[in-house]
Amino acid sequence: MFRKSKSIVGLDLGSSVVKAVELSLEGPEPVITGFSRVEIPPGGDHQEAIEAAFRNGRFRSKRVVTSVAGQSVVVRYVPMMRMSDSELKQAIRFETDKYLPFELDEVVMDCQAIESLSPTVIEGENEESEDKMTVLLAACKINEIEKQAQLIQDNGLQHSAIDVDLFALANAWELCGAIPGDADEEKRGIALVDVGAVRTSINVLYGGDTCFGREINIGGGDMTQAVARRLSVEPFEAEAIKRASDSQEAEVNSAIAPVLEDLVSEISLSLDYVEHHAGIAVEEILLSGGGVLAPGVASYIEQATARRARTWSPLEGLRIDASRLDVEELEAWAPTLVVALGLASRVRAA
């Protein structure tokens, strides 16, 4: 499974769209060598969408990295006494009853010490202690892992890894070279907010490392349904109108305003928690996902949260093989490809 390969496809199995991006290593440089995007029609499924994505994508590799999200996944930041990695793997099992809502035999679990984050940053303690460290704990229910692994196998693909959506956001951010190089600038909070169809993922980075992660059960699909009700159209028509209709922009903005209000309320609660509990100033919100393609979303979030907010492209700083894909289409969908590119970034460790 882990044989040497120079190409990996990041496969984002969204609820309404399957997105696949292939990264290849040409020397030390990652290059985008394939891209495909397939919408799942009413009554369709992931199986058909994956088949279509690989039929259309002209990918070099059948090795894929996928990710999990939702209620089957738990991410926690745990303060622990400092210890070696091998000791941590054993000790963390005795902490799970405090942090996981599942039985230990129901999940696949992993953990990693975050050296750049002291428990003071995560827990808001008054004094730092050299004897303590912050540990990132991630767990996913086994049945969700098995279901996804079977889906990949049924499509004749090879699973390289299964990641978590929240971590894929940070990997994409790092991949495109977006982490500032100045030491003073690194010690600030940046919130990566990915608005998908059914949920919004928030990953706050501090000095380039994740220090807070959360999912909100509000997404672009809620905006689409609001537009459909307002204009009395089918959801697929509402989705197209939401993204690109100048003539009905006022009606779209009015329809999605209540959804955005709820979403921003949850984002603000999360960022206020980080700032007040850990003492980290979250200065900027970087937006991605299909839900931010509606007109005025970024400016609304910026005004409502009183923080700088902008839509960002994970293509920044990456070379694209124009002979193998439609660059214009890739760039048009760039804000929706953050998770897929973050997954594909594992090619650097392949």
Of the pLDDT bands very low, low, confident and very high (cuts 50, 70, 90), residue 115 is: confident
Q: Are residues 220 and 292 in the same domain?
A: yes
Q: Are residues 66 and 146 in the same domain?
A: yes
| 259 shares its domain with 125 | no
| Predicted confidence (pLDDT) per residue in 306-348, tens digit | 999 999 999 988 999 999 999 999 999 999 999 999 999 999 8
pLDDT of amino acid 5: 47
| pLDDT value for 1 | 36
When mean pLDDT is compared across 4-8, 162-166, 324-328, 336-340, the lowest value belongs to 4-8
Q: In terms of domains, do 117 and 260 share one?
A: no
For residues 145-159, give the mean pLDDT. Answer: 96
Judge whether 194 lies within some domain: no
pLDDT for position 3: 42
Q: What is the mean pLDDT of residues 103-126?
A: 76
Sign of the dihedral defined by the CA atoms of residues 194, 195, 196, 202, in that order: positive
Do 149 and 65 lie in one domain? The reply is yes
User: Residue 55: is its pLDDT beyond 60?
Assistant: yes
Query: What's the mean pLDDT when you consider all of the chain?
Result: 90
* Each residue's pLDDT tens digit, 58-97: 899 999 999 999 999 999 999 999 999 999 999 999 989 8
Number of folded domains that form the chain: 3
Q: What is the per-residue pLDDT for 223?
A: 95
Indicate whether 208 belongs to any domain: no
pLDDT number for residue 4: 47
Give the domain CATH number at 94: 3.30.1490.300
Q: What is the torsional sign of CA 181, 185, 188, 191?
A: negative
Residue with the bigger pLDDT between 42 and 16: it is 16
What pLDDT score was predicted for residue 75?
A: 95
Higher-scoring residue by pLDDT: 268, 208: 268
pLDDT at 2: 41
**Crossing angle of the two packed helices 46-56 and 142-154, in degrees rounded to 10:** 50
The answer to whether residue 201 is domain-embedded is: no
Residue 114: what pLDDT?
86
Same domain, 231 and 283: yes
Residues 293 and 241 in one domain: yes
Residue 232 pLDDT more than 50? yes
Considering only residues 243 and 40, tell me which one the structure prediction assigns the higher pLDDT. Answer: 40
304, 333: one domain: no
> Is 195 within the bounds of a domain?
no
Question: Does 150 lie in the same domain as 15?
Answer: yes
Nearest Cα to Cα of residue 30 among 257, 345, 254, 313:
345
| Confidence (pLDDT) at 178 | 58
CATH number of the domain bearing residue 39: 3.30.420.40
pLDDT (0 to 100) of residue 280: 86
pLDDT at 118: 61
Q: Would you list the DSSP string of 133-183?
A: EEEEEEEEEHHHHHHHHHHHHHTT-EEEEEEEHHHHHHHHHHHTT-S--SH
- Flag whether 265 is in a domain: yes
CB 19 within 8 A of CB 37: yes
Please tell me which residue, 288 or 119, carries the higher pLDDT value. 288
At residue 129, the pLDDT reads 62
- Residue numbers of the domain that contains 274: 215-309
* Same-domain status, 281 and 163: no
φ and ψ at 278, to 5 degrees?
A: -110, -10
The pLDDT of residue 256: 94
Q: Report yes or no on 186 lying in a domain.
A: no
Q: Is the pLDDT of residue 27 over 90?
A: no
Query: In the predicted model, is pLDDT for residue 170 greater than 90?
Result: yes
pLDDT above 90 covers what percent of the chain?
A: 73
Do 222 and 115 sit in the same domain of this protein? no
Q: What is the pLDDT of residue 277?
A: 82
Q: What is the residue-wise DSSP string for 34-59?
A: EEEEEE--TT--HHHHHHHHHHHS--
Please indicate, yes or no, if residue 152 is contained in any of the structural domains.
yes
Report if residue 250 sits inside a domain: yes
Model's pTM, two decimal places?
Answer: 0.91
Q: What is the pLDDT of residues 250-283, one digit of tens each?
A: 899 999 999 999 999 999 999 999 998 878 899 8
Same domain? For 61 and 80 the reply is no
Mean pLDDT of 177-193: 67
> Is residue 128 over pLDDT 80?
no
Last residue of a domain, one of 111, 140, 169: 140
Of the three residues 140, 162, 197, the one that is the final residue of a domain is: 140
State percent of the chain over pLDDT 70: 91
Nearby residues of 266 by Cβ (< 8 Å), 6 or more positions away: 200, 216, 218
